[in-house]
Structure 1
Amino acid sequence: MRIAYQYRLKLTKEQRAKIDHWLSMLCSQYNYLLADRFNWYENNRCPVNACPLVCHLPQLRNNPDYYSQKKTLPNLKKTHPWYKDIHSQVLQDVVKRVKLAFDRFIKGDSNGKRSGKPRLKKQHRYRTFTYPQMKEWCLEGNVINLPKIGKVKVVLHRPIPDGFKIKTASVTKKCDGYYLIFSLEDKTIPEIKPDINPDLIVGIDVGLKEFLTTSDGESVEIPQYYRKAQKRLRVIQKRVSRRKKGGSNRLKAIKQLGLQHKKVADKRKDFHFKTANYLLSKYDVVAHEKLNVKGLSRSRLAKSVLDAGWSSFLTILTSKAENAGLLAVPVSPKNTSQNCSNCGKKVPKKLHVRWHDCPHCGCSLVRVAWPTANRDHNAAINIKNRAAGQSVLKAQRLLRDARIGACCLH
């Protein structure tokens, strides 16, 4: 099992300048390697139905793959001696990042989904570098020894769990400072709770009127942190647009804007963790819809959907359930709001209709307190019934197999 812990770094002025210099050089190397790959790609691809009879034939050369680009690093340090200041494994990690970005564009991920064409990064967009291998003794108290940077103070607001091993360490630059991100590994597979109570199954339906509604009738209000911060964000955004490009005042305004956006993101993340903890402390199995959030974020409701952060919440819920030995079960979202939770008959209703009243069996989930999402309560019951229809033992076995497979990959 892999988890990530993030800590704030207390850097000296010299260490801060050195990290910024590293990020600038690594950004240049990333862009150079990515451009080299695209240069080969453009010169060697030729669709059969679009190849002219007379054309310029570029000089043939081998495909710049991960290993061939990795071999260029020793020569890079000879032609550009200032790259000797960067740790060798940090430079190798840049080659790996280029490979992953290019492979997602050409081949796709493990599910076959291809991403867009990777772009060359500007210096302010390249903010992280990684040490792929870290020694176990690298962290002594609240001080970490980063190779070629030196000893750096760390704000250890929580200890590293017993039995976990530090695999990688990443230094990232954010608008409010520098952070250290540990990737921790525990080879023991978390055991699923053996005595899961089938009665402690709950279905949740996420929405935009209420953040979520449970099958027990409880509802959690949606905080809308971005909506509430829009007035302040609008003021700072105008301040940025009025400043002269390239000036120091514009950089100050951009930093203020970044701090305000980070504040909104931190509030939302804290809300997601607290909501997930509340559900998992009360229930053994939490069923939710398998939503296509990416598709919903392209609709007219995009701002509200992204402000709610459904994808982030479901990821946190699933991760915390696995760590606690509980289950977060995704079910099909088809007709969860349309079907009656009592008789199963389909009761068509438009989105503005916020109550459920079945003409077949007389089931009605209308409440006096408007605008409570009563149709969401009906949907949550349907989600719970679909999860209860699946064998809990089967879900446990599938989840255990997935965890064993994930551990084997590491």
Structure 2
Amino acid sequence: MFNLTYEFKLKPNKEQINTFESWLEINRLVYNHALRERKDWYKSRSCRINACSLHNCYIIPADASRPTYASQCKSLTAAKKDYPELKSVQSQVLQQTLKRLEVAFVSMWERNFGFPRFKKHGRMRSFVFPQMNGERLKPSILNLPKIGWVKFRQSRDIPTGGKIKQARILKRVSGWYVMLTVQWDVNPPQPMPHGEGAGIDVGLTSMVATSNGHLYKRPRFFVDAERKLKLLQQRVSRKQLGSNNWLKAQKKVAKLHEYVANCRKDWHRKLSHKLCDDAGMIFVEDLNLIGLSRGMLGKHCLDAGFGQFFNILEQICFKRGVYFQKVDARKTSQICPNCLYETGKKTLANRIHACDNCGYTTDRDIAAAQVVRIRGLAAVGHTVKMLNEGKTVGFPVS
């Protein structure tokens, strides 16, 4: 099975927009109620059994089971008798909202994410139709369950032979969008190692440094927009909270954020295609992106969007038949790519790699990219020739 997701901009009428808005609000209320049930159950188990708390006390029977996705789906079905507005939303859409909460708790336990938080008005921005059976798609028009046919701007064609598995309706400041997941009963071959290998090192001075000596300067998407963003946020703070002028000012802030995100994604895609032009294999560092985002330069790391760039680069490599692999990122800037001698740590101010053992000198980021290339080629079983001495190595550098 092979899945692809296509994103199109919807062109709904006023009645359909009102339906989307009401569905988002109902999904938000269901999400918050389910989260409250789980949070109360956890807090009831943290109370002392021989004394009541001075602040709050959650009295829930000891034999009450922990709320789960299955149990809350049953409660949702029973709640439709008391709350008729729940029937206006397609049943599977509400179930997907509960599954979204379940995924949030699983991520908290397994991926060290934070505790799920309640969503205030306007924070729920998408809902999902998990099944799209029957005839759902025609040129520039989409049939959504319980809503009907909705026009959309078909910016590109969808190849025939695929089946629409699900549709996600997404609200952005620029309008409403639909993300269609299409499935084909094929298994496309994965790209195999071939051609010229290229190592890539990412950084803040140069966004990308390649092993063949190219440096691509990082555009400062968010930093360049900070001055305008500060001005717009000051205007928001001067408006009466909740007024129409406050909403208009908030919309301008959101539009600026979306513009910055679109510019960043567009640049990442163009750069990924450029890197794939002259390479049959691309190797990148397997970085701890969460740790980088929480460091001293976290704002600039998030502005560069290393994680998004790696994801887009991997997609473009698969699309163009280029082999993509991540390698160990430890000590890539401390090893000489010419003789594999460990030169020691460098300060951030030191931008030149100069090896004391062999005398090889080059840009620090380019040297790190060359080490990444050596590790990548060794990982796929290729022998690597040293730059000057003609030596070979067939093992990854640790």
* TM-score of the two chains, using structure 2 as the length reference: 0.89
Q: Which residue of structure 2 lines up, in the alignment, with residue 147 of structure 1? A: 145
Residue 100 (structure 1) aligned with residue 103 (structure 2): yes
Residue 385 (structure 1) aligned with residue 385 (structure 2): no
Task: State how far apart, in whole Å, the 2-side matches of 1:193 and 1:93 are.
Answer: 34
Match of 2:292 among 293, 296, 303: 296
Alignment of structure 1 residues 112-127 onto 2, 5 Å: 113-127=111-125
Task: State how far apart, in whole Å, the 2-side matches of 1:163 and 1:140 are.
Answer: 14
Contact 1:191-1:325 at 8 Å conserved across structures: no
Residue 159 (structure 1) aligned with residue 148 (structure 2): no
Q: Which residue of structure 2 lines up, in the alignment, with residue 33 of structure 1? A: 34
Aligned letter for 1:161?
A: P
Residue 69 (structure 1) aligned with residue 72 (structure 2): yes
Give the C-alpha shift of residue 354 in structure 1. Answer: 0.7
Q: Which residue of structure 1 lines up, in the alignment, with residue 361 of structure 2? A: 364
Deviations 1:43-100, CA, capped at 9 Å, x for gaps: 2357xxxx55456874232322222211123322211112221111112212211222
Q: Which residue of structure 2 lines up, in the alignment, with residue 265 of structure 1? A: 261
Aligned letter for 1:276?
A: S
Task: State how far apart, in whole Å, the 2-side matches of 1:131 and 1:322 are.
Answer: 28
Q: Which residue of structure 1 lines up, in the alignment, with residue 7 of structure 2? A: 6
Give the C-alpha shift of residue 135 in structure 1. Answer: 2.2
Deviations 1:108-133, CA, capped at 9 Å, x for gaps: 2xxxx232110111121101111010
- Extract structure 1 runs of 4+ deviating beyond 4 A: 51-57
Which of the two has greater helix per residue? Answer: 1
Give the C-alpha shift of residue 184 in structure 1. Answer: 2.1
Alignment of structure 1 residues 309-388 onto 2, 5 Å: 309-348=305-344, 349-365=346-362, 374-388=363-377
Aligned letter for 2:85?
A: W
1:93–1:193 Cα change, 3 Å: closer
Identity of aligned residues (%): 36
Task: State how far apart, in whole Å, the 2-side matches of 1:362 and 1:336 are.
Answer: 18
Deviations 1:174-213, CA, capped at 9 Å, x for gaps: 111111011222342221345722xx10001111111111
Q: Which residue of structure 2 lines up, in the alignment, with residue 276 of structure 1? A: 272
Alignment gaps of 5+ in structure 1: 366-373, 394-410
Give the C-alpha shift of residue 326 in structure 1. Answer: 2.6
Q: Which residue of structure 1 lines up, in the alignment, with residue 391 of structure 2? A: none
Alignment gaps of 5+ in structure 2: 383-398
Residue 207 (structure 1) aligned with residue 203 (structure 2): yes
SS at match of 2:354: coil
Contact 2:192-2:323 at 8 Å conserved across structures: no
Give the C-alpha shift of residue 103 in structure 1. Answer: 2.8
Contact 1:23-1:123 at 8 Å conserved across structures: no
Task: State how far apart, in whole Å, the 1-side matches of 2:221 and 2:192 are.
Answer: 39
Task: State how far apart, in whole Å, the 1-side matches of 2:50 and 2:23 are.
Answer: 48
Contact 1:9-1:179 at 8 Å conserved across structures: yes
Contact 1:136-1:165 at 8 Å conserved across structures: no
Task: State how far apart, in whole Å, the 2-side matches of 1:340 and 1:7 are.
Answer: 48
SS at match of 1:91: helix
Contact 2:193-2:380 at 8 Å conserved across structures: no
Q: Which residue of structure 1 lines up, in the alignment, with residue 131 of structure 2? A: 133
1:193–1:121 Cα change, 3 Å: closer
Deviations 1:309-347, CA, capped at 9 Å, x for gaps: 111100111222234333211111111111111111122
Task: State how far apart, in whole Å, the 2-side matches of 1:227 and 1:386 are.
Answer: 34
SS at match of 1:178: strand
Match of 1:82 among 80, 85, 88: 85
Give the C-alpha shift of residue 145 in structure 1. Answer: 1.1
1:192–1:63 Cα change, 3 Å: closer
Give the C-alpha shift of residue 262 in structure 1. Answer: 0.3
SS at match of 1:3: strand
Give the C-alpha shift of residue 306 in structure 1. Answer: 1.0
Task: State how far apart, in whole Å, the 2-side matches of 1:161 and 1:221 are.
Answer: 37
Aligned letter for 2:27?
A: L
Contact 1:166-1:184 at 8 Å conserved across structures: yes
Contact 1:190-1:322 at 8 Å conserved across structures: no
Aligned letter for 2:22?
A: H
Alignment of structure 1 residues 247-258 onto 2, 5 Å: 247-258=243-254
Aligned letter for 1:121?
A: K
Give the C-alpha shift of residue 136 in structure 1. Answer: 5.0
Match of 2:219 among 218, 223, 233: 223
Task: State how far apart, in whole Å, the 2-side matches of 1:164 and 1:324 are.
Answer: 21
SS at match of 1:123: coil
Aligned letter for 1:167?
A: K
Number of residue equivalences:
374
Deviations 1:265-321, CA, capped at 9 Å, x for gaps: 000001111111111232111011111111111122112111111111001112222
Give the C-alpha shift of residue 353 in structure 1. Answer: 0.6
Task: State how far apart, in whole Å, the 1-side matches of 2:76 and 2:190 are.
Answer: 46
Moved more, 58-67 or 129-138: 58-67
